[in-house]
Amino acid sequence: MKKFGRILTILLVAAVFIGTFAYLFQRSRPKEIQYEELAPEMGTISKSTVVTGKIQPRDEVNVKAQISGIVAELYKEAGQTVEKNEVIAKLKVIPEMSQLSSAQSRVRLSEVNLKQAQTNYDRQKNLFDQQLVSAEAFEQVAQALKQAQEEYAASVESLEIIRDGVSSSNKSGSSTLVRSSVAGLILDIPVKVGNTVINSNTFNDGTTIATVADMNDLIFDGNIDETEVGRVHIGLPVRITVGALQDVAIDAALEYISPKATESGGTNLFEIKATVKVPDGVTIRSGYSANAEIELQREENVMTLPESAIQFEGEKTFVYVMGANGYERRDVKTGISDGVNIEIKEGLSLGEKVRGIQILDEKKK
């Protein structure tokens, strides 16, 4: 019985030894390298570039105050639409004391002159009715009265404008009412009720009351590298994607290429603009970051091959083609590439098999 146990133990040890040896031998044998098999196809290939930029209205109008003063009322807010000449805000005038004092003095003086002219007129009219003065003398006094009346009215109107910003005879055209000069969407109202504003003058651009733009007329504004600007032209179709709008592609057309470069980080860039065609139901906000894909070159009905099959040696380009004795090296002439596929001009025929990338053993991954 003991002898049988020893034999069984020996057999088990031998089996383990043989199994281990077989496993290690199998693992040590070189495995056959396998490659992905590719075939050239006929198709269309294009080369594109992506330009970063933003979408903005073609024209943004800054509505400014015509007079200096304080914002008394705001009738609109950002995000609302406004018509041309519609009132956005009302201002309260804070007059300069020197101008106000001068205007008040002018009113008092013109009032004195008017009273004297009226007295002279009444006296001369009484004498004229009694035929004691000539018609010519009476007409001169009447003319002086009219001039005094006009001067008084002008002084009162001037005082109202300086004090209130508007005269009683021209309330509809009041400069205290800030009106939009265009129709569109209000993008921003940077002032609040109580803020002081100044009008545009020689030394100052004036305070912006509101920024208004037509959001139906949008453009893409970006910069393209000098190495690619020579291959674009006006009218070229552009495909725009907006980061804030997923799965939305917008068509555009190139309308402007700057004739002068600007330097940025040692690179010369040229500004480009494209007319944006906003699809129905899509809302675009001013300043959205966007990418514009511009097709630089396009070849149709050409032989293409995945670029991963192409290998380089100096200036030579070659592939490995399946032959009678396995893969054989063959030089090819290539054309444009889209980063995935490349155009094959010479060296391959349809139906041939080309070696691609190596297929890795899943156990080694």
Here the tokens at position 151 are 């001067």
Largest CA distance in the chain: 174
Residue in 99, 203, 118, 200 with CA at minimum distance from that of residue 159: 99
Q: pLDDT band at residue 16, thresholds of 50, 70 and 90?
A: low
Residue 160 pLDDT exceeds 50: yes
- What's the pLDDT at 87? 92
- What's the pLDDT at 32? 58
- pTM over 0.85, yes/no: no
Residue 83 pLDDT exceeds 90: yes
- Above pLDDT 90, what percent of the chain? 33
- What's the pLDDT at 58? 92
With a CB cutoff of 8 Å and minimum separation 6, the contacts of 174 are 165, 166
pLDDT, one tens digit per residue, over 228-244 is: 998 899 999 999 999 88
pLDDT, one tens digit per residue, over 101-140 is: 787 788 888 888 888 888 888 888 888 788 877 888 888 8
Mean predicted confidence (pLDDT) in 172-199:
86
Residue type, 197: V
- What's the pLDDT at 355? 87
Q: What is the per-residue burial (b if ≥16 Cβ within 10 Å, else e) of 8-43?
A: eeeeeeeeeeeeeeeeeeeeeeeeeeeeeebebeee
- What's the pLDDT at 135? 84
CB neighbourhood size of 97 (10 A):
8
Q: Residue 356 in contact with residue 348, Cβ under 8 Å?
A: no
Per the prediction, the chain carries an average pLDDT of 84
Q: pLDDT band at residue 100, thresholds of 50, 70 and 90?
A: low
Q: pLDDT band at residue 293, thresholds of 50, 70 and 90?
A: very high
